[in-house]
Structure 1
Amino acid sequence: MVVIRDPFPRLVEKFGKEIVDLIYRYSEIIGYSVDQDDDLKIEFNPDRPDLFSFPTLVKQIKIYYYGEVEIRRSQSEDENIKVSVSQGSRSIRPYFSAFTADGSSIGSYFDDLIDYQETLHSTIGKNRLKVAIGIHDAEKTGTMIHYRTVSRSVRMETYDGFSGTVDEVLRNHEKGKMYGSLLPDVGRVVAITDEDGEILSLPPVVNSYRSRIDQNTKKFFVDITGTDLNSVKHAHYLLSNFFSSLRYRVRMPNITGIPASEKSSIAAFDYRSIRPRRKNIDRYLGGFLEDEEIIVHLRKMGYVAEPGSPEIVVYVPGYRVDVMGEMDVIEDIMKAKGIENIQEKEIYIGKFGKPIYKNEIKNVIRDVMIGLGFQEVMTFVLTSSVYAEGYTGGVKLLNPKSDDYSVMRDKIYPNLIDLIARNKKHPLPQKIFEIGEKMADGKQISALSCVIADTRSEFSTAKSYLQAFLSRFVKGDLIIEESDVYGAIEGRSGYIKIGNKRIGKIGEIHPEILERFSLTVPVSFFEVDLDRILSIER
């Protein structure tokens, strides 16, 4: 959950009593909680980062209740500022974006800006690992800006007056201690500099005094660096939306040194088009709605919507990073219409159900594994591309919200190893299993995966539990066909066979993999295909 707060009198002074009262009413539409004592405190679900500041929340309230729709199909170019990106910087923090925002003095919204910047750092930025945002006074940066690498011996002065070399800043400054570990331990680090080579910021750590902003700043230069393109893209539009909420003019500088595909990816995200299908709108909203009514609802939620043939065309603003497809759009139509205004329908169930045989077998398998001393767990079917080496699942997400959930898993045991790593402070042995789904060449497979972490967990440990499990379900001799298995030690891994049928894999995890997960005890595993087990004579 994300919480924002501000003294009630200050909010009334900034936005007016009528708007502050609407904050309560709007909570019933969006689904956030409001609490008031001396401060007005709002608690959000994490799915709407565009609302995590009072200025951006008020903008959406005005769109919903007053129809103040701001149509801007693209951000124009700021010809006065140029940015050069070096290849060296891309090898450390590879993704870069920037924009300028100019208007009146930031004034009383200064604290809102800083708070929103830090909220984005901690949420979509994953504490600056994926995204770091630098905000500068554009009247102090000069017109030529460089994103490049600098030596650790170069001197700088941080925004709060700490002077020293880059290395001293990383070792001794408060922000350096917090975020310096995000930079590789090499002789050069990434920096934003002016045309004379003076450091403006040290992503993802700290800004310099040279371009420090204050309440009198009128024109801003914002740099966004990161390790994940989607996160950089999202931060770009979320923060530019903050400035546009305050009537600032937002423009893109002329950036050179990054691939055209990255530029177009960022540009195309703003007002991307989605065509929700009429049959799905009618299905989920309980009946037929006229196109005109649908368009009104969509515009109240901040979309640009136009009649189309056969579907309405919806243009999604870049700051709506939560919208991934037509179901998100239909959900917003429902919110604008009001759930209380959707007609109930009786659900007709024409048949009586009975247990699926495979599910009954899964319940028996659970009992067996628990009897062997294992604990059942459940992990996500979507997993990280880090585990995709030699990937054979055949299903990857085209538009993942995070690289941590970007492929449909083709093996379960890496998830279980990750879970053990997160619980390594618990007593040994740790024996866990999961009955879940995975993909193989685009086909869905039910599998049992078991992982054992103990001071003496080795190949023979996993094999003994495998034998105990199989003795309950299949006839025939167990054969281990030696083979290389992802993440396992060569010579201590292989395919599991009953007769001439392969049913799974077994192995002892390689020390390099254990080190990657910061595990200090041996780990062994086996994973079997339940459909193949059920096809063997029992």
Structure 2
Amino acid sequence: MGDEYKMVVIKASSEYVKNIMGKETYDKIEEFSKVIGYEYEFGEEVRIEFNPDRPDLFSFVTLADAIKKFYYNKRDETYNFSSGNMDISNENNKSGRPFIYTFIAKGERIGELLNDLIDFHESISDNVGRRRTKAAVGLHDYDTITQPLKYGSTDLKGEFCPYDEDKERKLEEIVLTHEKGKLFIDLAKTGNKVYALEDVNGIISIPPMLNSRRTRVNTSTKNFLVDITATNGETGRKLKLLSMYYFNSLGYELIDDSGILDAPPLKQGFESMGMENVNKVPKVIGNEIAQKDIYDYLRKMGYRVKDGTIGIPFYRIDVMGFVDLVEDISKARGYDKISEKEIKLKAFGSANPHKKFSNILSEIMIGMGFQEIMSFFITNSKNVEFGRQSRELKIMNPKSQDFSQLRNSIFPEMLEFFQRNLRRSYPQRIFEIGRILGEENEEEHMAFAVADSKNGYSYIKGYLETFLKALTQKNYFIDGSNLIKVIINGRGGTILIDDICVGFIGEILPEILLNYELANPVTVAEIDVDKLFSAIS
């Protein structure tokens, strides 16, 4: 299995989303994106792309709930929780996947929301659960289950009927042929066996791989058993809280026997934070904000302000402390309302020569009709793979694999930019000046790129010539014999000034463009700014 955890995308037909959310709430999707910071596309299909830090929003049901709280004063003073007595034994508490959490959700038939329900739980298992390696959720029709339950293991020679088949097969055959079996068998194995969740009538799940046909949920399902198995207890707890939030948003009764919501820190579904933190907010933001307004902003973001405490909703697993509180207040208030302030220094300074040089490069590019972009120094493994340098530096325990490594080139970020702007008019001409991870130290690079149906090597070479003529009287030479792995052979090479290699230029290989879903030719040039400065000085 790969280790990519991408930005989270939810999508469905426009008509379906309107039915789920209601037209009034649906019409607020665009406006709410400015508060939360997600990207959206409307058409026959609605497509919304989230950052991984708000997993509670990874469905149209929970997104609608957040919108109603923000714009229409929907308030959750309490939640529909009750205690039950789930009869379950855990024989795996000393195994590699020792944790299991369960709860029951009872309500009306799920109906057309079934796909949204399943997609949400797939998303949180993939992202928060790290592609099921840390934790995963299983959904079952509770009315088909007879207690007691046992979380144990079973031999691969046993038989099992997967949720999408109609007869039993041997498990050793399923793990070799079923799509989910091939993907997750390594996570489901415990010694020579596989994990199994059973009721009186047999196996209902091989977590975190497959659920059974017998307990499969459908549009008529009203009552759900939710199981979460985990290698990490805290991650399993988070998935349970997110799942409970989804069902709570639909008005389901939640029956929980673990005590997870019965006592601090989640009394009545809220984790308390003292009001003394409110007094610190204006100082951190840098603007005076009335206490009443702070409370209103918090309520709009789903918090409860009551009895001298701020209640953090149980499903906001991203809220770790005071700084997150300030961030939510700033989002609700609007970042545009944070006023600028002059920074007063007691000393005089002068511009760094290299910074002045970078500013000159930027002015030349803008003069040639290029638009400046700014991307992150931290990127993903795909961009590093296609980057020019061979050195890699990975971040330990990244929050998202979209931001898991230091970039070693700028141009792959430009390919991603073109990918995000496929529907924009052409030609697209962009440039960026920024840091990369070099072979030994950080380096400052400048890259510029063109995407257009009529694009070719001669286009980018003409721009390079104009750029260098505006910068220096020195001649340059393109060494086409020095092959670049991302450039079409014969349509590019390294850029030399006085025998100093300052960068490369050329037309990107079509197979690399396919990785970014780009149909139009793309040409690029990337230059080491420090080497360019030395070469023309």
TM-score of the superposition, structure 2-length normalised?
0.62
Would you say 1:349 and 2:345 are equivalent positions?
A: yes
1:515 matched residue in structure 2:
none
The equivalent residue for 2:336 is 340
Give 1:195's aligned residue: 200
Shift of 1:433: 5.2
Judging changes above 3 Å, is the alpha-carbon distance between structure 1 residues 249 and 101 closer, same or farther for their aligned structure 2 residues?
A: same
Q: Indicate whether 1:300 and 2:296 are aligned.
A: no
Unaligned runs of at least 5 residues, structure 2: 1-6, 352-388, 409-437, 443-537
> In the alignment, residue 226 of structure 1 is paired with which amino acid?
A
Is 2:152 aligned against 1:160? Answer: no
Classify 1:214/1:208 alpha carbon distance in 2 versus 1 (closer, same or farther; 3 Å). same
Aligned match for 1:47, one of 31, 50, 53: 53
Q: 1 CA distance for matches of 2:131 and 2:84?
A: 30
Against the structure 1 CA distance between its residues 72 and 336, is the aligned structure 2 distance closer, same or farther, given a 3 Å change threshold? same
Structure 1 position 2, deviation (Å): 1.4
Shift of 1:89: 5.1
Q: Give distance in 2, aligned partners of 1:147 and 1:401.
A: 30
**Deviations 1:180-227 (CA, angstroms, capped at 9, x unpaired):** 12234622221110034x000000110001111100000000000111
- Aligned-partner residue type, residue 303 of structure 2: Y
Q: Residues of 2 paired with 1:48 and 1:269: CA distance? A: 22
Aligned to 1:391: none
What is the CA-CA distance between 1:352 and the residue it aligns to?
4.0
Among candidates 194, 215, 234, match of residue 219 of structure 2: 215
Q: CA 1:243 to 1:278, structure 2 compared with 1: closer, same or farther past 3 Å? A: closer
CA–CA distance in structure 2, aligned partners of residues 159 and 72 of structure 1: 36
Shift of 1:277: 2.8
Given that 2:136 and 2:228 are in contact with CA atoms closer than 8 Å, whether structure 1 keeps it comes out as yes
Among residues 301, 324, 329, which one is paired with 2:325 in the alignment? Answer: 329
Match of 2:184 in 1: 179
2:285 is matched with 285
Structure 1: which amino acid aligns with 2:329?
I
What is the deviation of 1:270? 5.0
Change in 2 beyond 3 A, CA 1:110/1:375: closer
Q: Which residue of 2 aligns with 1:228?
A: 232
- CA deviations on 1:250-309 (whole Å, 9 max, x unpaired) are 121469xxxx9x99899679522334734531123333333222111101100112364x
Moved more, 269-278 or 143-152: 269-278
Determine which of 79, 93, 96 is the counterpart of 1:92: 96
Counterpart amino acid of residue 245 in structure 2: N
Matches within 5 A, 1:9-408: 9-72=15-78, 75-79=81-85, 81-86=86-91, 88=92, 90-161=94-165, 162-184=167-189, 186-196=191-201, 198-253=202-257, 271-275=270-274, 277-278=277-278, 280-306=280-306, 308=308, 313-352=309-348, 379-380=394-395, 383=396
* Residue 329 (structure 1) shift: 0.6
Contact kept in structure 2, 1:54 and 1:112, CA below 8 Å: yes
For residue 234 of structure 1, report the CA deviation from its aligned partner: 1.5
Report if aligned partners of 2:76, 2:304 keep a CA contact under 8 Å in 1.
Answer: no
CA positional deviation for 1:170: 1.9
Whole-angstrom distance in 2 between the partners of 1:346 and 1:154:
72
Question: Number of matched residues?
Answer: 365
Are 2:79 and 2:248, in contact at CA under 8 Å, matched by a contact in 1? no
SS of residue in 2 equivalent to 1:224: strand
Letter in 1 for 2:194: V
Residues 430-462 of structure 1, C-alpha deviations (whole Å, 9 max, x = no match): x96579xxxxxxxxxxxxxxxxxxxxxxxxxxx
CA offsets 1:100-140 (integer angstroms, 9 cap, x no match): 11100000000101111211122112221111211000011
Q: Secondary structure at the match of 1:273?
A: strand
Q: Unaligned 5+ residue runs, structure 1?
A: 356-373, 385-399, 406-414, 420-430, 436-538
Letter of the 1:272 counterpart: E
Q: Is the 8 A contact 1:100 1:252 kept in 2?
A: yes
CA contact (8 A) 1:131 1:225 kept: yes
Q: Which amino acid aligns with 2:283?
A: R
Amino acid aligned to 2:71: Y
User: What CA RMSD, in Å, does the superposition of the two structures yield over aligned residues?
Assistant: 3.3
SS in 1 for 2:84: strand
> Would the aligned equivalents of 1:89 and 1:147 in 2 still touch at CA under 8 Å?
no
8 Å CA contact 1:82, 1:254 repeated in 2:
no
Q: Residue type matched to 1:301 in 2?
A: M
Task: Say if 1:224 and 1:268 are closer, same or farther in 2 by CA, change over 3 A.
Answer: farther
Q: Secondary structure at the match of 1:100?
A: strand
Structure 1 residues 120 and 318, CA gap change in structure 2 (3 angstroms): same
Q: Secondary structure at the match of 2:28?
A: helix
Question: Partner letter of residue 286 of structure 1?
Answer: G
Go from structure 1 to structure 2 and tell me whether the alpha carbon gap of 1:346 and 1:323 turns closer, same or farther (over 3 Å shift).
same
